[in-house]
Amino acid sequence: MANIKDVARLAGVSTATVSNVLNQSRPVSEDKKRRVLDAAEKLNYIPSANARDLKRKATKTIGIILTDIKSQFHADLFNTVSSVIQERGYTLRVAFSNEVIRNEQFLLENMFSQGVDGIILITCQTEKESMFWKKINAFQTPVIFIERKIPNVTVNYAGFNNYSISYELTSHLLKKGYRKMHLLCGMLQYSSESDYARGFSDAYKDASLDFDPDIIHPIDMIKESAMETCLSFLHDRQPEVILGTSREITEGIMLAAQYNGIRVPGQMLVIGAGEENWDHHLKHSGDRILSRSAVTLGEIAAERLFYLIESPVTSDPFSIELEDFYLEGGEIPPASEQNPSVPALKVFRRNLELLLIDGASRYPLLLMLPHFEQENEISVHATVIPQNQMLRVIQEMHSGKGLEADVFMYDSHWLNYLVQNYYLAELSEFLERNQIDLSRVEPELHQNFRIDNRVFGVPYTGGSQQLFYRQDLFEDPAIAAAYSRQHQISLRAPRTWTEFNHIARFFTKKYNPDSPTEFGTTFGGKTDEVLSCEILIRLYALNGALWDKYGQPTFDSSANCSAYKILSETIDYSADDFSSYTLDDTVHDFIENKAAMLIAFSEYAPEITKTERQEFQRRIGYDHIPGRQTVSAGYSFGLNPFSSAREEAFTFFNWICNQDTSYLMTLFSGAPQFTASYHNHELKKLYPWLYYTEKSIQFSQKRIPPMRNDRLVIPPNTLEHLICTPLRRMRSEGLTAEEALADAQAEAVRVFTMYGTPKRSRF
């Protein structure tokens, strides 16, 4: 058996370095850490002394680690194991990993250190953690894996033959004449879910049928993800059957079918794997359950664990795969008896033309529009416009050129300009007539659609800028210790923009070769809309201002100079081509592990969170932005004054303001406009950043242009260009902040004067 010297020799490091890496006792460079771990894995090195130290005498305690207790299957499994264990005179320690690999590893090591006699586990580990399990095997404490196992590692396993279940069911459906099927399963990194997917695809291939891999949808195993995924394809792809690999996924499928008015069965079959309960058909009439007994599995796992505890030396590793399952809900009818829904072919006599701003905010609406069309028999044609072009499109539409639309989306800070130029119809009378209560909207968001007591839009999304950061990296002991030595302060979510830059530099490989990320942050500078928001939050935090209470420009102040300098430094810790980056690009870089921190609007949070759950190792932290001075954000829908489809538009506005629609918009966008969505228990549990979003909205700064009754409103894009030009010149021409802002002040005076701002006298 290899020893620590063998590992050190192969890795080309000292034995002390090997010890520091394996015990995480002192920080080691990424290169050395990688070499040590690679060498240890090649040599199958186990730190046996540690294993002996962790071995304890019998404690009459059994540990059980589940991913969560929300699943009915997991709850039934836990209850069964608990009952069997207590009957044998043992106590039970239960813990939950929440699908986070580091959580599970900590829980396991903690249980071993406290001397449990055995462990039953539903793991979230993947093949990449095989070295961890080789270490665990050295502890000689029996561990039984349930439902999921680690490839290429010998373990004790009890589960179901999900491949066979999936293959037989799919083959049966194909023989019945079904062809248009979809499978919704958990992440394919889990053996249980990959087995379902393989059985599903192999059945098609063995039947000599073409197989489209896009009909397999790996998702989070929660009803919300299942509903969202189904809504994305139900309207266009018209499936005959949808299969789900858990009770929770099946519930989401049924919700999506109900929302789109699809009868189950009749127009579509839904078959889900789960545990049958007596009340199932009262709650979910129509779907069928592929029943697998969690009780049976729990009993087998518990009894096998006691055998391993009592005969640890003579026990061989085992793998049990149950194949007993039955279909509840009746025999599957032939495909010829089903009448698939064809909503895409239905033609409505009423039409509505809609303009949407491109970006994350359009996604939930496009997902839900088929429901609106079916419910109201109104056909909606949506055109998506880049944000930096939307204002021009609205101007051209008003003058009778270009596109025509009845309803259009607008950014909150455009409101005063749009109203002064008569681009928006007033909606106050409509809201009063239809008793639409906008007092339910977050108070600070009223500025997005209301001027004085007049309403010119209905709110669509709220939200604010938030800080997202790699919490797993910030809490890594070696990384935190290295930062602390360098800055004499703990590594934490930054409180100031100076601290933000310190952390960003620390996580940028150009300045710190040991950084686990390429950049400290990711930064969008392609459009003035995005870049101006980055500038403003730093100006606000440093008490800067671009104009005074009289509407006079104040670009060249010392506070503004400090803010522009800080932001220019931030750019050094992001991608070199920041000027070509959109907001979507910055989010993508963060998701792809290229950056340690991100400032983004809350509407991007669902995408970030989804990736966190799919990546297992990664944990995302949420916090207020440094300085806590965020810009006011949000989108509203306005009515074209010249629209000939006012009643259709009013129907659309009514639907947008409906509470049920609002909840779903929050579910799919993460940026609610109504207060109730921020306080909904389920939504807060699913989206923990909502707390920060609501608080940020409350102290956000209004982006109202300099205004007086006797002057024109300066177009938003003109103001944004004035704000962004100094920074662009600092980066491209090498100007100092003082030089760039002096020029900007002169240009601002010219522009402000052109729109009616009188020059102030010195006296």
DSSP 602: G
Mean pLDDT of 377-404: 91
Q: What is the pLDDT of residue 188?
A: 87
Mean pLDDT of 713-723: 93
Which residue, 120, 128, 124, is CA-closest to 153? 128
Residue 54 pLDDT greater than 50, yes or no: no
Q: At 684, which helix (H) or strand (E)?
A: helix 681-686
In 122-276, DSSP assigns E strands to 143-146, 156-160, 181-185, 216-218, 241-244, 269-274
Among the residue ranges 40-44, 566-570, 662-666, the one predicted with the least confidence is 40-44
Q: What is the pLDDT of residue 41?
A: 66
Q: What is the pLDDT of residue 762?
A: 42
Mean pLDDT, rounded, of the chain: 84
Which residue, 468, 415, 498, 440, is CA-closest to 713? 415
Q: What is the pLDDT of residue 184?
A: 95
Q: What is the pLDDT of residue 280?
A: 45
Mean pLDDT of 312-331: 70
Express each pLDDT in 84-143 by its tens digit: 888 888 888 888 887 777 778 788 878 887 778 889 988 887 665 565 666 666 667 888
* Rounded CA Rg of the chain: 30
Residue 57 pLDDT greater than 70, yes or no: no
Q: How far is CA 742 from the centre of its chain?
A: 42
Pair type for strands 118-121 and 269-274: unpaired
Which of 127-131, 332-336, 360-364, 615-619 has the highest average model confidence (pLDDT)?
Answer: 360-364
Residue 413 pLDDT greater than 60, yes or no: yes
1/495: higher pLDDT:
495
The values of phi and psi at residue 698, to 5°, are: -70, -30
Residue 558 pLDDT greater than 70, yes or no: yes
Pair type for strands 288-291 and 269-274: parallel
CA 558/CA 738 separation, integer angstroms: 8
What percentage of the chain's residues is helix, strand, coil (to nearest 5)?
50, 15, 35
Domains parsed from the chain with CATH numbers: 4-45 (1.10.260.40), 55-160+297-322 (3.40.50.2300), 162-291+327-331 (3.40.50.2300), 350-463+633-696 (3.40.190.10), 472-631+705-754 (3.40.190.10)
Pair type for strands 288-291 and 620-623: unpaired
Express each pLDDT in 442-454 by its tens digit: 888 888 888 988 9
In 385-516, alpha helices (H): 387-398, 415-420, 428-433, 471-474, 477-487, 497-506
Residues above pLDDT 90, as percent of the chain: 37
Among the residue ranges 322-331, 480-489, 585-594, the one predicted with the least confidence is 322-331
Residue 171 corresponds to which tokens in the numbers above?
A: 């083959």
Q: What is the pLDDT of residue 18?
A: 81
Which residue, 259, 266, 217, 258, is CA-closest to 240? 266
Q: What is the pLDDT of residue 29?
A: 78
CA 610/CA 591 separation, integer angstroms: 10
Say which residues have a Cβ less than 8 Å from residue 424's Cβ, sequence separation at least 6. 410, 415, 418, 456, 457, 638, 639, 641
Give the C-alpha distances (Å, rounded to integers) separating 732 from 266, 524, 581, 583: 64, 16, 16, 21
Among the residue ranges 284-288, 432-436, 584-588, the one predicted with the least confidence is 284-288
> What is the end-to-end Cα distance of the chain in Å, rounded?
90
CA 709/CA 716 separation, integer angstroms: 18
In 335-414, DSSP assigns E strands to 350-357, 378-385, 407-411
Residue 404 corresponds to which tokens in the numbers above?
A: 């025509």
Mean pLDDT of 477-503: 93
Express each pLDDT in 247-280 by its tens digit: 889 999 999 998 888 888 888 889 887 654 434 4
Residue 51 pLDDT greater than 60, yes or no: no
